[in-house]
Amino acid sequence: MRRREVLGLAMGAALWPFSAWTQPAGRMRRIGLLIALAENDPEGQPRVSALRQSLREVGWIDGQNLRLELRWYAGDPERAQVMARDLVGMGLDVIVVNGTPALTAVRQLTSTIPVVFVIVADPVGAGHVQSLSRPGGNVTGFSTFEPAMGAKWLEVLKQIAPHLTRVGILTDPALRGFSALLQTVEALAPSFGLQPVMADGQDVPTIEQAIEAFAQQPDGGLIVFPTPINSAQRQRIVSLAAQYRLPAVYPFTFHAWSGGLVSYGFNTVDLYRRAGAYVDRIFRGEKPSELPVQAPTAFELVVNLRTARALGLTVPESLLLQAHEVID
């Protein structure tokens, strides 16, 4: 575990009153967890472990007074609907959902089971909550990627590859939660000397077609949006970017670990850890409608120098000094 994750756990623990650490009494509680990755994805288990650990720290122990039901939908919206129907049918006490497709699927099926979401962009704009401070209904959680993030991605991409004149935006326009982010990138791209080009990808075939079509013209780079399919299929996207020699900026650290050129985004595992506190508060009687939606508190820049060298790029020292991690 990284030092900053250990510090985060310690700080989170200090915020809880002593009474919250006592062993909860009463019946067995059941949680559903619907994750946007595939079950064999190595990124998945740290997320599950973070949720389990945060719940254990406030007295909810899986297998004793808690049962955790795991479902994995691998970025596939249709599979998310099937898994959501399965979980809702169990009559669980709380459902934790990862990603917009999972949240949409669960909300279509229940307005009574409390839902805590993680890694969902613009939940107000997408219609999932009434406001960030007073979500209303049975849903609350942890939002991600405010529109201003688009400017940072453009800045990082232009810093690491200043010769670029075109930027391909790899996203799924059907996901309403990314609309404001998409509009920001399209509006600001010209100020960075970049022509924005849509590269729609809802599944592996359309992702492959979009990247191949974009790569036909020179001096292009990619911004890979944080859609569930782009996370689940990150290795394929990184491979295509290398094949077509496209500099790309990604939203999550695990993209850079998978060979992506550079990533800028929040710590995904940290949001699962924080979600455990909301689950505990709901178990203790608080309503999701009164728990404010929270945003990420820390962001990480990761640069993959091996990939930069393979693309013939020299990473400026100023960018390296900003990096939380440099892969070499």
Which residues neighbour 156 within 8 Å (Cβ) at sequence distance 6 or greater?
A: 249, 262, 264, 301, 319
What is the rounded distance in angstroms from the CA atom of residue 137 to the CA atom of residue 149?
28
- pLDDT confidence of residue 25: 56
- pLDDT confidence of residue 13: 42
What is the rounded distance in angstroms from the CA atom of residue 124 to the CA atom of residue 140?
11
> Does CATH number 3.40.50.300 belong to domain 149-265+300-327?
no
91 burial (CB, 10 Å; 0-12 / 13-18 / 19+) is: exposed
Mean pLDDT to the nearest integer, 305-318: 96
Mean pLDDT to the nearest integer, 288-312: 94
Confidence check: pLDDT of 276 > 60:
yes
Higher pLDDT: 10 or 26? It is: 26
Give the pLDDT confidence of 52-80 residue by residue, as tens digits.
999 999 999 999 999 999 999 999 999 99
Q: Which of 53-67, 176-190, 306-320 has the lowest mean pLDDT?
A: 176-190
Give the pLDDT confidence of 138-167 residue by residue, as tens digits.
999 999 888 888 999 999 999 999 999 999
Confidence check: pLDDT of 177 > 90:
no
The pTM score is 0.81
Confidence check: pLDDT of 239 > 80:
yes
- pLDDT confidence of residue 305: 97
- pLDDT confidence of residue 47: 95
For 3-144+268-298, give the CATH class: alpha beta
Do 149-265+300-327 and 3-144+268-298 fall under one CATH topology? yes
Higher pLDDT: 281 or 15? It is: 281
DSSP state letters, 89-148 = TTT-SEEEEESHHHHHHHHTT-SSS-EEEEEEE-TTTTTS-S-SS---TTEEEEEE--TT
Give the whole-number percent of the chain exceeding pLDDT 70.
Answer: 92
pLDDT band for 26, please (50, 70, 90 cuts): low
Confidence check: pLDDT of 224 > 90:
yes
- pLDDT confidence of residue 1: 41
- Hey, what amino acid is at 57? E
pLDDT band for 193, please (50, 70, 90 cuts): very high
All structural domains of the chain with their residue ranges? 3-144+268-298, 149-265+300-327
Give the whole-number percent of the chain exceeding pLDDT 90.
Answer: 81
Mean pLDDT to the nearest integer, 208-227: 96
pLDDT band for 173, please (50, 70, 90 cuts): confident
pLDDT band for 298, please (50, 70, 90 cuts): confident
- pLDDT confidence of residue 178: 87
Cα–Cα separations (whole angstroms), residue 72 to 34, 43, 44, 84, 172: 6, 12, 9, 10, 20
